[in-house]
Amino acid sequence: MIMDLIFFGMQGSGKGTLGKAVAEKYGLEIFETGAELRKLAQEDSELGRKIKKIIDAGELVSDEVIMEIVENFINNLEAGKAALFDGIPRKIEQAKLLNTLLKKHDRKFAGVLLEISEETALRRLTTRRICKNCKEVYPANYENDKCKCGGELITRSDDVPESIKKRIETFKEKTVPAMTLYKDHFLTIDGEPQIEEVQKSALKALDTMLQA
Ligand code: AMP
């Protein structure tokens, strides 16, 4: 069955990396909320500066801004193409707004959680680097100084202790309750093992779910 997947996972769970593999296998179009916002944050406008400040503080951007960009994404989706939502919803209000929007467009959807402990999240976030160019994420054990594309590897501006703490708190307090809205169609994947193993078990579980 073709359906949209709504990816959940504490920061550092690897949902961006897994999302890419899943999207490639099933032909899904990815909507990465954080990446869309970081693009807006680079704009030299009042909205751009406001968004940058919120992101760097590890706080949440307003629902109005989020819903506007997600609605725009859905309106521009190719007919018959399913979507993979990464980074939305972050709280119950957004989950309600997103579900209403998806139902309005006659879309079917399921939630997927990539589960890790808080210790793992902290460890991964304080040591990961991203490519300045293509935004690919690299874990601490990546040995090169440069990205595969040749770009410089840097620390994300919000991967600093205060902001990391705030984002993990928000996940526990706001995003976890939002997941309950998807409990009828929900898949939990263990995100602790090595990436290859996580991908293998995730794709197997998704095969079963999507073929049901
Ligand atoms: P991420 O790349 O998913 O870690 O998101 C980076 C930052 O973008 C978050 O810390 C928030 O400031 C903002 N953000 C991402 N998704 C949302 C959302 N659904 N609602 C509000 N703010 C968001």
Which residue's CA lies nearest to atom 6 of ligand 1?
A: 34
- In this structure, which residue's CA is closest to atom 9 in ligand 1? 55
Q: Is 80 exceeded by the pLDDT of residue 168?
A: yes
Nearest CA to ligand 1 atom 15: 34
Q: State the distance from the centre of ligand 1 to the C-alpha of 150, rounded, in angstroms.
A: 27
Q: Determine the pLDDT at residue 210.
A: 85
**Nearest CA-CA partner of 13 in 179, 174, 185, 171:** 171
Task: Assess whether pLDDT exceeds 70 at residue 95.
Answer: yes
Query: In which band, very low, low, confident or very high, does the pLDDT at 203 lie, cut at 50, 70 and 90?
Result: very high
- Pocket of ligand 1 from Cβ distances under 6 Å: 11, 33-34, 37, 54-55, 58-61, 66, 87-88, 90, 94, 158, 167
Is residue 162 a contact partner of residue 58, using CB atoms and an 8 Å limit?
Answer: yes
Residue-wise pLDDT tens digits, 37-53 = 999 999 999 999 999 99
pLDDT at 1: 65
Q: What mean pLDDT do residues 120-131 have?
A: 94
**d(C-alpha 16, C-alpha 54), whole Å:** 21
- In this predicted structure, the answer to whether residue 62 has a pLDDT above a threshold of 70 is yes
Q: Please tell me the distance between residue 42's alpha carbon and the centre of ligand 1 in angstroms.
A: 15
Residue-wise pLDDT for 13-37, tens only, equals 999 999 999 999 999 999 999 999 9
Q: Which atom of ligand 1 is nearest to the CA of 51?
A: 12
**Cα(61) to centroid of ligand 1, in Å?**
7
Per-residue pLDDT band at 211 (split at 50, 70, 90): confident
The DSSP line for the chain is ---EEEEEE-TTS-HHHHHHHHHHHHTPEEEEHHHHHHHHHTSSSHHHHHHHHHHHTT-PPPHHHHHHHHHHHHHTSPTT--EEEES---SHHHHHHHHHHHHHTT--EEEEEEE--HHHHHHHHHH-EEETTT--EE-TT---SB-TTSPBEE--TT-SHHHHHHHHHHIIIIIHHHHGGGTTSEEEEE-SS-HHHHHHHHHHHHHHHHH-
